[in-house]
A and B are shown apart, each in its own frame.
Chain A
Amino acid sequence: MREKVAEILSTLLGREIAPGEECSMESERAWDSMKHIEIILTVEEETGVSFEAEEIPKLTSMARIVARLEDGGQA
């Protein structure tokens, strides 16, 4: 799952992001609030998982997105 999310982030943020890399809204200049919505929509489309509205503002790093997808719990 981490590989999939890294692949999505690489495409949307415009640089190669390794699966083990730290990558977050704070560290990525291109990850602004509108890009955040795109990332969420793309992750949902590619994984078939639908996030609750209140989760969306919290999924602000690759680690959080992967954790949410892997354990199915709340972000």
Chain B
Amino acid sequence: MRHLFAEELRRLQLLRQAPDPGAEAVRIAVYRNHAFETVASVLDPFLAFSGLRAETSCSGYDDTFGFGRVFDADLNLIWVDAARYRAIDLGEWLGERAAALRERSPAPILLLVAGGADRRATEGVPDLWDFAVEDLLPPGGGGIYDPAREAATGTRLSGRACLEVARALGLRLIPAVLRPALKAVVLDLDQTLYEGVLGEDGPEGVRLTAAHAELQRHVRGLKEEGFLLAVASRNEEEDVRRLFERRPDFGLRWDDFAAVRINWKDKAENLAELASELHIGADAMLFVDDNPAEILNAEASGLGVRTLLAGDPADTLRMLRFYPGLLRLRTSSEDGLRTADIRANRERTALGETLAPRDYFARLRIRLQFGLDDESMAPRVAELAGKTNQFILGYRRYTEAEVRRLMGAGDGCVVTVRMSDRLSESGMIALLAARAEGERLLCEELAVSCRALGRHLENVMLPEMMRLAAAHLGTGKGALVAYRRGERNGPALEWLRSLTGDALVADEGRVPWAVPGRVDLEGLETEVRRWAKR
């Protein structure tokens, strides 16, 4: 599969790649004013890396983007050549056209403009992400356009540009829209983040080449985008601390890592421990190591961890730039909070082992801010619903537009919870999406961020969210809680089982639950804020 990440892509090599019969079909509706076929024909090899394949429906060429026929789709792609327009404010007009498509199709929209356009006009359209085609291509490559051939090919884009667009769509953009993002990157140190062996060369002796410096900058950037960083290295921890202290030229600092396993144990064992410490599934981690044996060992461990064999640092950097799951299209204020929040978990865990819940809440000064229909939270609600795997009941995977509709509906509501304590600000960590169904409350979705688990909160915070939703919608005390059995939502199902006493034998269903009239929140600082329906 390394040809997918090659510096120079080759169409023949891509077309020779055997299709994956087990890949999940993604229906992509393409609305366009120039040819997309030379991109579409090489999309599947890249999508296959994420277990997907495209079923593409293309509109006719239409400079007006009138959307005469709207296809049923999982993803809409508006494919625009800006050079075909003169004397109009293209950004504003495209924003208007995208909003028109949004009215007619709930599926997420990717707007790709060759020649670029002012993006501000599309900011108000939910579940839309726009990109200039030029920004999707590797820097300094040149040769994006081949206008002399437009009459023959149907597009100004060169053959090489079409291959790069297919790579960007197949490896980065489409998985970013349709699949949960990865959550952590676990890094080896020696010969991966620098040249040399720390145990032999010492902190001053290992070499930071220009390519390694760029790789470290990129990894640091991933942390700023909200990914957790961790280390799995065969070294002495004290040596590694000293390395980061003594090398100010390193782009990465010791504090950038949310968790570390620096020892001589089996790395697969360390990866399992890191997943547990970070409260994430091992399959949400990407493990980067230069040792093929470690990579094979991690793959054979059954953890499901994704792997990347590091080699030449420029190659490693390119693979990280394209690796599926490392592009976060939704960003939120929570992104910058994660590492500090998880580092603080060590202290929380120690307290939690010795104190009763209410004393634990009080000692940590845990503060919960409940919000009802807070539209400013809609992007974060969609993000949390989209990527939570462990504590989630319904797997509804709402789009932002669906969240906004539910918040605005007279018979629906979304309850969110922001949390902080004396150690850190955790941001929005839980959501409840509910509807009134007659006199009963139907809980469609309930999800809690993995960062908030293990704090004794589930049995007070979640019933309080249900109570607030029932009171908000005036449904009385009866509720139905929808659930679906997934691969990794055992913790949420176990909680529901203990709460309702139902054995949850079916793979999906609704279980009755009596909403409490009052929830004991002793020890917690709480606040409730309600927003008016629009």
**Which A residues have a C-beta under 8 Å from some C-beta of B?**
8, 11-12, 34, 37-38, 40-42, 44-46, 52-53, 56-57
A11 proximity list for chain B (CB < 8 A) = 12, 15-16
Cβ contacts A to B, 25 pairs, < 8 Å: A8-B12, A11-B12, A34-B35, A34-B37, A37-B35, A37-B37, A37-B38, A37-B154, A38-B11, A38-B37, A38-B38, A41-B11, A41-B38, A41-B159, A41-B162, A42-B12, A42-B15, A44-B159, A45-B10, A46-B10, A46-B12, A52-B148, A53-B151, A56-B153, A57-B152
Contact present for A45 and B149 (CB under 8 Å): no
Q: What distance in Å separates the Cβ of A12 from its nearest Cβ neighbour in chain B?
A: 6
Contact present for A53 and B12 (CB under 8 Å): no
* 4 tightest A-B CB contacts, nearest first: A41-B159, A34-B37, A56-B152, A53-B148
B37 proximity list for chain A (CB < 8 A) = 34, 37-38
Contact present for A45 and B11 (CB under 8 Å): yes
Interface centre among B148, B151, B153 (most CB of A within 10 A): B153
B57 proximal to A (CB < 8 A):
no
Q: Is the interface of B mostly helix, strand, loop or mixed?
A: helix
The verdict on A56 contacting B41 (CB below 8 Å), with A41-B159, A45-B11, A45-B159 known, is no
Taken together as a complex, chains A and B put the C-alpha atoms of A37 and B151 apart, in Å, by 11
Among B15, B16, B152, the residue within 8 A (CB) of A37 is B152
Residue of A nearest to B37 (CB): A34
Taken together as a complex, chains A and B put the C-alpha atoms of A41 and B153 apart, in Å, by 10
B15 proximity list for chain A (CB < 8 A) = 11-12, 42
Taken together as a complex, chains A and B put the C-alpha atoms of A45 and B505 apart, in Å, by 57
Contact present for B11 and A42 (CB under 8 Å): yes
Taken together as a complex, chains A and B put the C-alpha atoms of A42 and B153 apart, in Å, by 13
B41 proximity list for chain A (CB < 8 A) = 34, 38
B10 proximity list for chain A (CB < 8 A) = 45-46
**Which residues 1-54 in B have Cβ within 8 Å of A in the complex?**
10-12, 15-16, 35, 37-38, 41
Taken together as a complex, chains A and B put the C-alpha atoms of A45 and B149 apart, in Å, by 16
